[in-house]
A and B are shown apart, each in its own frame.
Chain A
Amino acid sequence: MMASTVLEIKGLVRAFGGLVAVNALDMTVGSGEIVGLLGPNGSGKTTALNLVSGVLRPDSGAIHFAGHDIAGMATHRIARLGLGRTFQLVRVLDGMNCAENVRAGLAFHPARLARGEMDAAAIRLLERVGLKDADQRMATELTYIDRKRLELARALALKPRLLLLDEWLAGLNPSELLIGIALIRSLKEEGLSILLVEHVMDAIRSLCDRCVVMNSGRKIAEGTPDKVLSDPAVIEAYLGAPANA
C-alpha cells in the first residue's frame, strides 16, 4: 500500500442471497483526492459504502484504511479510526439541537476534548458548513440543505481521514447545488480525502479527480470524469444499449 493511499479496496465481494451486490471490486482513494463512485441505481454503490463503514461484513476481499485492515471491523471502531460518513437519506438527530448533533461526532473521538473545548469546536464546525448561530436551534427546524450541512458537520467532527458522502448533493435546487459544490471543494482544499457517490453530473465533473463506475456490482470503468462519462460501456449502463446495436 502506497503511503499516499487512504483507502484501498481489493477483490471486495458481498452477496445478498443470489444477488451479488458488490463483485470483485478494486479501488483506491489517495490522500487529498476526491473519488466519485458512479453507476445506475442498484449497481452496488451504497453497498460498497456500507462495507467500508462496517455496516455490512464483506463475504471476501480486503479493505485497508489508514494503515488498518478494516474488513469486517465494527462500525464504531472504523469511525474512531477517522471515517466520517453522511447518508443517502439524510440522518440527523431530530430530538437534539444543532450543537448536540455535532457534539455526537466529537464526544466519542479517541482524542477527547474538555467540555468547554467541545462546545467551541461544535460552533466552529457549524460555522464551517454554513450554519452560523444555529447551535441552539433544533435539528427539526432546519431546511433540507441545512439538515445536510448539519449531517456533514457531524461527520467532520470525527476529524476524518476519509469522508464518505452518499449523494450529499441530491435534492438540492440549482443555487443550493453551487453552494454545496463550493463547500465540498473547500474541504478538499483543506486536504481532506473524499469518496462520494453522486448522480449530479455537474458536481462530478467539477469535483472529482477520478471516478469509478459500477454496474451490477462490477467496476466497468475508471478514470477522469470526462473519460468515464464518455465511455460507451458507461453510457450503455445508464441509458441501455443503442436500439440499432
Chain B
Amino acid sequence: MSAMRLAAALAACAGLAVLALLPVYVDAYYLALAIGLLQFTVLATAWGLFSGPTRYVSLATTAFFGVGAYTVAVLGELLPWPLVLLIATAIGAVMAVVVGLSTLRLSGLHFVIFTFGLAELIRQLVIWFEVNKSRVLGRYVFVDITQKDIYWQLLALAVAVFVIGWLIERSRLGFALRIIGEDETVAKHCGINVTVAKVTLFTISAVFMTLVGAIMAPRWTYIEPSIVFNATISFEVVIMALLGGAHRLWGPALGAIPLTLLFEFLAARFPTASTLIMGVIFLLIVYALPAGVVGLWDNFRRQWRPRRVEQEAKA
C-alpha cells in the first residue's frame, strides 16, 4: 500500500512538473484553454469543499468571483500584486462570514435562492456605486501580468485547493461536516457547533473563488459588472461539480475538465444555442448520474467488494 502511495505521489509530482512547463511549449490558444480549465477546476473543487459534505447548493460563486475581480480592478494599479491578492482574500473572507452567518441557518431550498439573490444584489450594488459614485460603467485593468503568470498562479491555487481539501477531509472539521450533511440534528447532539463548522468551510471555499476572480481579472483588460458577476459562472460550476460528484475531493475536477472543453466547443460552434444545449446537458446529468462520475466508480467498487469479502470469509 505504501509503495502505491509513493508511486501516486511521484506521479502527481511528475504531472505537476509537466503542467508547470506547459506554457513554455504551447501557443496562445491552448494557453487560454488551459487557463479556462484551471479556472473551473479550482472553482468547482472549492464549491465541492463546502457543498459536497453539507449538500447546501450555493449559487454565490459568481458573487465571490466578481468581488475578487473588482478588487483587482480598483487596487491593481495602486498596490503591489501580492498585497492586492491578500486584500482580495480578506474581502472574500469577511463577505463569506457575513453571508454564512446570515444564511446557513436557512434550509436547503431557501439557501439556494438566497445565494442566487445575493450574487444579483452585489452586482446591482456595484453598478449603482460605479454609476453614481465613481461615474464609470466599466474599469480598465492595467497590471503587468502576462497570460503565463495567470496560468502559473491558477496552477498554484489548484494545488492549494487540493492540499487544503485533503487536509480538511482528514480533520475533525471535515468529519463534522460529513455528519452535518447526514443529519444536522444528530450533529448538534454529538457536540458539534454546526454554525462555526459551516461558516468556516463556506469561508475557505469562498476565499478560493475570490482569488480565482482576482487572478483572472488581468485577462480581460476591461471589466464591468455584467462580465464578472455573471450568473452563468455559478450554474456552470454547479453542473461541473455534480457531473464529477461533489462528495469526493477530486470529483468536481472530473466534471470541470470535460465540461469546460465542451462549453468551449459549443460556444465556438453554436454561439447562439450554447446556453440551451447547456441546460439540456444539465438535465441529463441530474437524471442519469445523480451521484456523478465518482458515484459510478463507487458503485463499481461496491459491486466488486462483497464478492471479495465472501471469498475471504470462505478462506
Chain A residues in the interface with B (C-beta under 8 A)? 53-55, 74-77, 79-80, 84-85, 87, 91-96, 103-105, 107-110, 154-155, 158
Contact A108 B178 (CB under 8 A): no
Known: A76-B188, A76-B194, A79-B190. A91 touches B183 (CB 8 A): yes
Report the minimal beta-carbon distance from B169 to chain A, rounded to whole angstroms. 13
Pick from B176, B181, B182, B183: contact of A108, CB below 8 A.
Answer: B176
Q: Are B186 and A79 closer than 8 Å at their CB atoms?
A: no
Pick the contact of B188: A75, A94, A105 (CB < 8 A): A75
Known: A104-B175, A108-B172, A108-B176. A91 touches B192 (CB 8 A): no
Alpha-carbon distance A94/B175, docked complex (angstroms): 14
Q: Which residues of B contact A107 (CB under 8 A)?
A: 172, 175-176, 190
The answer to whether residues A108 and B190 also contact, given A93-B179, A94-B182, A95-B178 and a CB cut-off of 8 A, is: yes
Could you tell me if A76 and B192 are in contact, using CB atoms closer than 8 angstroms? yes
13 residue pairs bridging A and B, Cβ less than 8 Å apart: A54-B188, A75-B188, A76-B187, A80-B191, A87-B185, A92-B186, A95-B178, A103-B175, A104-B186, A107-B176, A108-B176, A109-B191, A158-B190
Give B26-45 interface residues, CB cut-off 8 Å to A: none
B221 at the interface (CB under 8 A from A): no
Contact A85 B175 (CB under 8 A): no
**Interface residues as binary, B212-230 with A (CB distance below 8 Å gives 1, 0 otherwise):** 0000000000000000000
Beta-carbon contacts of B161-191 to A below 8 Å, as 1s and 0s?
0000000000010011011011101111111
Interface flag for B299 (CB, 8 Å): no
B193 at the interface (CB under 8 A from A): yes
Across the interface, A79 reaches (CB within 8 A) one of B179, B182, B191, namely: B191
Beta-carbon contact of A76 and B179 below 8 Å: no
In-complex Cβ contact of B183 among A79, A80, A93 (8 A) = A93
For B188, what are the chain A residues with a Cβ–Cβ distance below 8 Å? 54-55, 74-76, 79
Contacting pair A108 B185 (CB below 8 A): no
Decide if B192 touches A108 in the complex (CB within 8 Å).
Answer: yes
| Contact, CB under 8 Å: B193 / A76 | yes
Inter-subunit contact B178/A96 (CB<8 Å): yes
CA of A55 to CA of B178, assembled, Å:
20
Q: State the majority secondary structure of interface residues on B.
A: helix
For chain B, which range describes its interface: under 10, 10 to 19, 20 to 34, or 35 or more residues? 10 to 19
Looking at the complex, which one of B178, B189, B192, B194 makes contact with A85 (CB distance below 8 Å)? B189
Query: What's the nearest-Cβ distance from chain A to residue B280, in Å?
Result: 30
Interchain CB contact under 8 A, B189 and A53: yes
User: When the two chains form their complex, are residues B182 and A158 in contact, meaning their CB atoms are under 8 A apart?
Assistant: no
Measured between beta carbons, the chain A residues less than 8 angstroms from B192 are: 76, 108
Residues of B with C-beta under 8 A to A108: 172, 176, 190-192
Closest to A55 in B: B185
Closest 5 CB pairs of A and B: A108-B191, A75-B188, A79-B191, A93-B182, A80-B191
Chain B residues near A76 (CB, 8 Å)? 187-194
Q: Mark B287-310, 1 if CB is under 8 A from A, else 0.
A: 000000000000000000000000
For the complex, what is the distance from the CA of A79 to the CA of B194, rounded to whole Å? 13
C-alpha gap A109/B192 in the complex (Å): 9
A158 to B192, CA, bound (A): 12
Q: Which residues of B contact A53 (CB under 8 A)?
A: 189
Does A74 contact B175, Cβ atoms closer than 8 Å?
no
Question: Given A104-B175, A108-B172: A95 and B182 within 8 A (CB)?
Answer: yes
| Least Cβ–Cβ distance between A233 and chain B, in angstroms | 33
Q: Given A74-B193, A79-B188, A79-B189, 16 other A-B contacts at CB below 8 A? A: A53-B189, A54-B188, A55-B188, A75-B188, A75-B189, A79-B190, A84-B189, A92-B186, A93-B182, A93-B186, A104-B186, A107-B172, A107-B175, A108-B191, A108-B192, A158-B191
Most buried by B among A80, A84, A107: A107
- Beta-carbon contact of A96 and B191 below 8 Å: no
Which B residue sits closest to A136, measured CB to CB? Answer: B309
Q: Which residues of B contact A93 (CB under 8 A)?
A: 179, 182-183, 186
B201-257, CB < 8 A from A: none
Across the interface, which residues of B come within 8 angstroms of A75, CB to CB? 188-189
